[in-house]
Amino acid sequence: MAQKSLHKYSIPTVDNMPIGPAVNTGNGNIELRPRLITMVQANPFYGLPSEDANAHLQHFLELCNTIVIKDVALDFIKLCLFPFSLVGKAKQWFYMDKEAVSTWN
């Protein structure tokens, strides 16, 4: 097996990039329009102690309830858009390996 240099380990690859939960798209794909993403990003959640996670979630769900994409379930739209509403530590938490966290207990 060929050895990798230290420089090679520092270069990001798709294999070591965090991803969110797997979402079953069925047989098709949807395109999230930039205006939808911008709309969700207008009220970001940073995960700060001074922020109210419930208020953020309520605002996010209200926004999502105004979106209709033909032949696409609303829950699927919510799952696709939610990561765009998170910033900073909240986004890090979202992408954290949940199985590794469950072994901490």
- Which is higher by pLDDT, 30 or 65? 65
Q: Which residue has the tokens 């990561």?
A: 83
Cβ atoms of 87 and 46 within 8 Å: the answer is: yes
Query: Does residue 18 fall inside a structural domain?
Result: no
> Is 87 a domain residue?
yes
For the chain, the distance separating the N- and C-terminal CA atoms, rounded to the nearest angstrom, is 36
Give the number of C-alpha atoms closer than 13 A to the C-alpha of residue 64, restricted to the C-beta side. 20
- Whole domain around residue 75: which residue ranges? 34-105
Q: Is the residue at 6 inside a domain? A: no
Q: Is residue 41 part of a domain?
A: yes
Show Cβ contacts of residue 45 under 8 Å, excluding neighbours closer than 6 positions. 51, 53, 56, 85, 86, 87, 90
Domain count, the chain: 1
Residue 72: pLDDT band (50, 70, 90) is confident
Q: How would residue 105 be classed by pLDDT, with cut points 50, 70 and 90?
A: very low
User: Which tens digits make up the pLDDT trace of 23-62?
Assistant: 665 656 778 889 999 999 999 999 999 999 999 999 999 9
Residue with token string 């911008």: 38
Look at residue 2 and tell me whether its pLDDT is greater than 70.
no
Shortest CA distance to 57 belongs to which of 93, 28, 92, 81? 81
Predicted TM-score (pTM) of this structure: 0.70
With respect to residue 57, please indicate whether it lies within any of the assigned structural domains. Answer: yes
Residue 92 predicted with pLDDT over 80 = yes
